[in-house]
Structure 1
Amino acid sequence: MIHAEPLAFPSPTKTPGYLLDAHPGHGLALRIARDTDLPYFRALYAASRAPELAGMPWPDAAKQAFCDSQFELQHRHYLAHPAPAGYFVVMRDGQPAGRLYLRHEVNELRIVDILIDDALRGRGVGTALLRWLQSRVREQGLARLTLSVAVYNPDARRLYERVGFVTGERTDMHLGMSWPH
């Protein structure tokens, strides 16, 4: 179900200074997301769902419509529950490489969403971002960096564990994880 009103990002006025002018290393930079990034984010989302949909006996147009609908629902959910720390495009060597949505909560920084371009997975991009976020948490004196990972995403879970995240609360669909500083 596609709505007529725009899917605009809110103004980035609440983005903490420690996340601005971000250069996590590994050729990476963070840029505050703009409405013009939505087509890239939509394609990135669809690519992330492609393996799951590969076995579905749907025509390509139906798969695309499904992904478009799911992207819109997810994006609207994120906008309804704003991420005061910011919505970012992960850039690598000047090109979009993923998205990173963060929320600054009491004494913690939460990764609301992290999605890296399939072509760059396994090349250190996620590790560099996570290490950089850990350094920001440490420098700001925050207690922890938190996230939720889908239980059906063992690759991401292994990455998080490799950089020091520990498991916490589990639901049927997600596993809470935190990196205690």
Structure 2
Amino acid sequence: MPFMRDLYHQSRAAELATVPWPDVARRAFLDSQFDLQHRHYIGHYANAAFLIVERAGSPLGRLYLHADRDTLHIIDILLLSAVRGQGVGTALLAHVQQLARDGACNAVELSVLRENAGALRLYQRLGFTSVGGDTLRLAMRQALS
């Protein structure tokens, strides 16, 4: 859990950089947000796989997956900023696609923040298409053949 918490903190650092809080208050806020998110995921996806992504024994990120009927859902994928753009996300998604095929799933689904241009480009490049969403998030799906 310490790595997962720190990874979450890192993912929100830029967003909170301009908030004039002391470090202790920022950390307390991020801890509470992480705890809420974690409880939400555990409560709504009890049978999900909550995975830590590693390379040579060093943690690089997290990957949360949930199979539902004939679809494999990527609940969350989050990588350390230091490894983004190095092909780790592409490799993870290829692995998820293979897991879905092995599990007789017809599709992989996910949602992405509309402002996350890098992830959105990656998903589109790998064949995910928009299937809806809201003002903050875009729902995407990739049909498997």
TM-score bracket relative to the smaller structure = over 0.9
Conserved in 2, the CA contact under 8 Å of 1:108 and 1:142?
A: yes
Q: 1:136 aligns with which of 84, 99, 103?
A: 99
- What letter matches 2:33 in structure 1? Q
Deviation of 1:139 (Å): 3.1
Corresponding residue for residue 149 of structure 1: 112
Identity of aligned residues (%): 48
Match of 1:121 among 51, 76, 84: 84
**Matched positions, count:** 144
16, 26, 29: which one pairs with 1:53?
Answer: 16
TM-score when scaled to structure 1? 0.76
**How far did 1:141 drift?**
2.7
Instruction: Name the one with the larger helix percent.
Output: 2
Give me the whole-angstrom Cα distance separating, in 1, the residues matched to 2:109 and 2:46.
14
Structure 1 runs, 4 residues or longer, greater than 4 Å off: none
CA RMSD of aligned residues (A): 1.1
Mapped contact 1:149–1:175 kept (Cα < 8 A): yes
Unaligned runs of 5+ in 1: 1-37
Measured after TM superposition, the shift of residue 83 of structure 1 is 4.5
Higher relative contact order (CA 8 A, sep 6+): 1
The unaligned stretches of length 5 or more in structure 2 are: none
Please say which of residues 76-85 and 38-47 is displaced more in the overlay: 76-85
Q: 1:85 to 1:71 in 2, by over 3 A?
A: closer
Partners of 1:77 and 1:65 lie apart in 2 by 18
TM-score where L is the length of structure 2: 0.94
Q: Do the aligned partners of 1:87 and 1:100 also contact (CA within 8 Å) in 2? A: yes
